[in-house]
Chains A and B, each alone.
Chain A
Amino acid sequence: MISWLEMIGARALKIVNDLGRAGMFFFWSVVGIFRPPYKLSPIIKQIYVIGATSFTVIFFTGAFVGMVLGLQGYHTLKMYGAEGALGSAVSLSLIRELGPVLTALMVTGRVGSAICAEVGIMRISEQIDALECMAIDPYRFLISPKFVASVFSLPLLTAIFNLVGIAGGYLVGVHLLGANEGAYLATMKSAVMMEDIWMCFAKSICFAVLIVWICADRGYWVHLNADGYGAEGVSRATTHAVVISSVAILVFDYVITSLML
C-alpha cells in the first residue's frame, strides 16, 4: 500500500519537475530570440527544413482531404437536397478545423520527430555541453531559430493545405459529381468569415509553438530520462515527443475553438 502511494507520489513529482523544466526551457528559448548576435541564416535554414521540405506532404494530404470532403459532403448534402452548400461545408471544415490540425499533425510527424532526434543526439554526444563550454547559449543557438521558423512556416503551410483542399473539394464535387459550380464558390464566399480565417491563423501559430516546444524539450533533456540511454533513449524520447505533441495539438484545438467561438 505504502509503496503504491510512493509510486504515485514519485510519478507526480516527476511530472511537476518535467513541467517546470519545460517552462524554463520555453522561457530561455524565447529570451534567446532576442539575444545578440542576431543572425538570419540559421532561421532561414530552419524555415527551409521545417517549411519548404514539408510542402509536398502538405500538398498531397491537403488535396486528398479536400477531395474526400467533397465526396462525403456531396452525398450527405444530397440527401437533403442541399448539394449547393458543398462549397461552404468543405471550406469551413478545412479552414476552421482540418487545415490547422492536420497540417500540425503532419508537421509533428515529419519535423517534430526530426527536431527531437537532432537535439537528443546533440545532447548525448556532448555537443550541447561543448556549446556551453564555448559560452555559446545552446537555447539561442539551437532552439530559438526553430521556434521562429516554425511560427513563420506553419501558418503558410496551413494556408497551402486549405487552398489545395478547397480546390480538391471543388474538383471532386463540381467536376466529378456534378455539383453546381457557381453555388460552390458563392456559398463558400458567403459562409467563410474573417473570424474563421483568424481562428485558423491563431491555431496554427499556437500549434507551431507547441510542436517545437514539446519536441525540442524532450530531446534537450533526454539524458535525464531514466528509462533509456543513448540511441534507445533518443528513440524513446522521439516517440514520446510525437505522441505528446499530437495529443496536445488536439487538446489545444478544442480549447482554442471553445474560446473563440
Chain B
Amino acid sequence: MATCENCCIELVEIRKSFGAQEVLKGVNLPIRRGLTTVIVGESGQGKSVLLKHILGLVTPDSGQVLVEGQDVARLRGRALKELRTRFGVLFQGAALFDSMTVFDNIALPLRERTRMPAAKIKDKVYATLDLLDLRGSEDKFPAQLSGGMKKRVGLARALQLDPEIMLFDEPTTGLDPVRSREVYEMFHQTQQKLGYTSIIVSHDIPKIFNLADYIALLHNGVIQACATPEDMQRCQKPVVKAFIRRVMGEMYTSEIEAQEFARGI
C-alpha cells in the first residue's frame, strides 16, 4: 500500500465532510522521513483538520492515513498509544492544561509516560524553559501568559519526550518577528540533533521557505502541489502561482522571474 520509499507518513485519498461541508476532497500527501514538510493554505482550508487525521483524533470518511505503513484509523488501544508516543504535537490553541502551572504542564508527559525521577524531570524542564526563554514563568498558570508565551510552553511540552515526528499547528502565530525567528532556529537545531520528521502548518511565508524541505499547498480540499520551495515558486499551475503571488506580493515573484530570465530559463 505504501508507495513512497522514504516516507514515514502517507495520506491516501483522504475525504472528510462536516455535515454538508466537504473539507477534504481527496488529499494525497507523502511526508518524508527526517525532513520538514510545511503545509500552507488559506485560513479555513482544513489544515488543522488534516493534522488531526494524522493524529487519529479525526477519522476520515474514506481514504487512509498510513503512519509507518499502519492505518491510523484502524488502530485501537495499545497500538494507537504506542504510535502516539512517537508524536509530539503543538496544537493551534496550545491546549495547555489550564489548571496546572507552566512547570507542571511541561513536566506532565515526563511524569506520566516515563519513570524518570523527580530531580531529573526538574533539570530537563528547566533546560527547556531556558531554551525557550520562559525562565521565571514556571509558576504561572496558562491564563496568566501572553499568547506567544502559551505557544512556547506548548512547544516545550511537545519537545519533552524526544518525539520522532513533530506536528506543529502554527507554531509562530502570535510571536513577534524576532521570537519567531528564534523558534525556527530552535526547530532547526533540535531537528539536526534529534533527527525528527516535522510537519508544520504555517502562514509565515516566505520566512518558512528557508526551513522547509517540502511545501504542500492545501486549497479547495486537495493538495495542489507538494514540492521543494524553489520548485514551488517556479510552479506554473495557476492556483499555486496565484497563491504565491498573493502571499509574497507581486514584486517577489517578478524578481524570481527576472532572475530566471537572466539565467535564461
Contacts and interface: CB of A to CB of B under 8 A. Distances in A.
Interface of A: 37, 118, 121-122, 125-127, 129-130, 132-137, 141
A136 B89 contact: no
B113 A126 contact: no
B84 A126 contact: no
Contact of A133 (B57, B98, B112): B57
A134 B109 contact: yes
Interface in B73-105: 81-82, 84-85, 87, 89, 91, 93, 95-99
A141 to B, nearest CB: 7
Given A126-B91, A134-B109, A135-B81, 18 more contacts: A37-B112, A118-B99, A125-B95, A127-B95, A127-B98, A129-B52, A129-B57, A129-B91, A130-B95, A132-B57, A133-B55, A133-B89, A134-B89, A134-B108, A134-B113, A134-B161, A135-B84, A135-B113
- Closest 7 CB pairs between A and B? A126-B95, A130-B95, A135-B84, A133-B89, A135-B81, A135-B85, A136-B112
A129 B97 CA distance: 11
Nearest to B109: A134
Interface of B: 52, 55, 57, 81-82, 84-85, 87, 89, 91, 93, 95-99, 108-109, 112-113, 161
A35 to B, nearest CB: 11
A133 B97 contact: no
A43 B82 CA distance: 26
Contacts of A130: 89, 91, 95-97
Given A135-B81, A135-B84, A135-B85, A129 B95 contact: yes
Given A129-B57, A130-B89, A136 B95 contact: no
A82 B127 CA distance: 76
A133 B87 contact: yes
A125 B95 CA distance: 6
The interface centre, meaning the residue of B52, B87, B98, B112 with most chain A CB atoms within 10 A of its CB, is B112
Contacts of B96: 127, 130
A136 B57 contact: no
A211 B109 CA distance: 30
Nearest to B19: A226
A137 B96 CA distance: 16
Nearest to B55: A133
Contacts of A136: 108-109, 112-113
A127 B108 CA distance: 13
A27 to B, nearest CB: 13
A137 B76 CA distance: 12
A137 B161 CA distance: 16
A135 to B, nearest CB: 4
Contact of B112 (A118, A126, A141): A141
The interface centre, meaning the residue of A122, A127, A134 with most chain B CB atoms within 10 A of its CB, is A134
